Amino acid sequence: MPTVSQVPVCCLCQEKPCLIKCGDRRHKSTVQYASRPELPKLAYRRVKGKSPGVVFLPGYGSNMNGQKAEALEEFCRSLGHSYLRFDYTGHGASEGVFAEGTIGTWKKDVLFVLDELAEGPQIGQKEKKIMVGSSIGGWLMLLAAIARPEKTAALVGISTAADHIVTSFNTLPLEARKEFEEKGEWTVPTKHSEEGIYKFSMNFLREAENHCVLQSPIPITCPVRLIHGLKDEDVPWHISMQVAERVLSPDVDVILRRHGQHRMSEKDDIKLMVYTIDDLIDKLTTMV
């Protein structure tokens, strides 16, 4: 298998492979739409290639065109591996209403992608994928791996937000929780939305409780890598430690970045993500 050192140097950033969005845009994948019976269409971009392929799961309110998602496409293309990124229902270019989405809605999206869109090198062939989940995508990645172990080769969590929305609400003072319950929604300050807040309905929170994974051992046995920034102000890094403690896999690494923030989209953050995935590809290929 070609290693990172054999990949041509990007003419703009002088990295190999290109680790930021300065790669040759002429080869950028095109947006496609997957129809589902009685469900909103999902927008996705796919690069065909060899196994193991990579599937990227974006964060809450994010989409498939972020820096990490684009850098991963550049990387997978450079090594000839398949790659798929997509928008959840109500996100980005996909159909649906964002405010009506739930953890369960987006879990179904991920399972549909794994079942119907993530083909192997041969048409119609299914293969195990490396799932890379950012923030809430890290939570959905765990849920998908539990539901589809036969389609999961390895997991890479970036600022993994497993159970985080539910845990955060449940740790509020009782009076505050009652106040939000009476209003019917919980508002949380954030730097990551135009309004400066996220709004979570009580129905969203109650539904999310059905998908919590941290109260018991997590039945995942594939290799797991969890990258988290110590300066993450949105999702505490100790959540990645909790995930690492609870997954049953014997092959789990947690990588803490001293100056890393929630989005982990600085050049060195992206470089670490790419090299972590490259090491996993090398390991998986050697195991075969």
**Which residues form the catalytic set?**
135, 232, 262
Residue of 122, 4, 139, 129 lying closest to 58 (CA atoms): 139
The rounded distance, in Å, linking the Cα atoms of 227 and 240 is 8
**Cβ-contact 18, 27 below 8 angstroms:** no
The rounded distance, in Å, linking the Cα atoms of 163 and 167 is 6
The half-sphere exposure of 232 on its side-chain side, counting CA atoms within 13 A, is 25
The rounded distance, in Å, linking the Cα atoms of 263 and 59 is 9
Treating both helix axes as pointing N-terminal to C-terminal, what angle do 267-287 and 67-79 enclose, rounded to 10 degrees? 40
The rounded distance, in Å, linking the Cα atoms of 25 and 142 is 32
